[in-house]
Amino acid sequence: MANEKQIVDALRKRGNKITPQRLLTIKVLMTLDQHHFSVEELFQAVKLQNTDVGMSTIYRTVQILEEMGFITKRNFDDGFARYELCERDEKHWHHHLICLKCGKVIEMQGDFLEALEKEIEEKKDFIIINHELKVYGYCSDCYAIMKGDKFD
């Protein structure tokens, strides 16, 4: 995962301005505790440090960082675009478990579809660049509420 300096250097090399507002946005983005943030959540976190930063600055910075491969957009079918910092040299991203009740997203590391991809590439003469796996169900907390007890 890139650090703040690498992102700023890449922006400069690309010809983007490094304004104080953009720099603050990048700093805040790098410190967000949650892995899947919305533009609104990033905006609120930046506003806590500088009330002069506008939403358009946040949107534009997110758009540029996505174009450059520093963050990736995720859709968890909840009506909101979410973003996360990413490894730029990974072939595949991690997978997600999504709770249908509370919307919690749990990350799953590891590429569980590697054998399937190899078979597809060999049998269908198709080169796979990436895939995304979303598994829907209930987190243990929601399931416990629904059933009256917890499961492991």
Q: What is the pLDDT along the chain (152 residues), one digit of tens a residue?
A: 788 999 999 999 999 999 999 999 999 999 886 678 999 999 999 999 999 999 999 999 999 999 998 998 888 877 888 898 876 555 556 788 889 898 888 878 777 788 888 999 999 999 887 777 888 999 999 988 888 765 55
Closest CA to 132 of 91, 87, 89, 99: 91
CA dist 67 and 64 (Å) reads 5
The reply to whether 139 sits in an annotated binding site is: yes
The reply to whether 114 sits in an annotated binding site is: yes
Residues 6+ apart with CB under 8 A from 40: none
CATH assignment, 91-152: 3.30.1490.190
Question: In the chain, which segments carry CATH 3.30.1490.190?
Answer: 91-152
The reply to whether 102 sits in an annotated binding site is: yes
**Claim: this prediction has a pTM higher than 0.95:** no
Q: In angstroms, what CA-CA distances link 46 with 16, 40, 50, 113?
A: 20, 10, 6, 38
Question: In the chain, which segments carry CATH 1.10.10.10?
Answer: 1-89
**In this structure, which topology does domain 1-89 adopt according to CATH?**
Arc Repressor Mutant, subunit A (1.10.10)
The reply to whether 142 sits in an annotated binding site is: yes
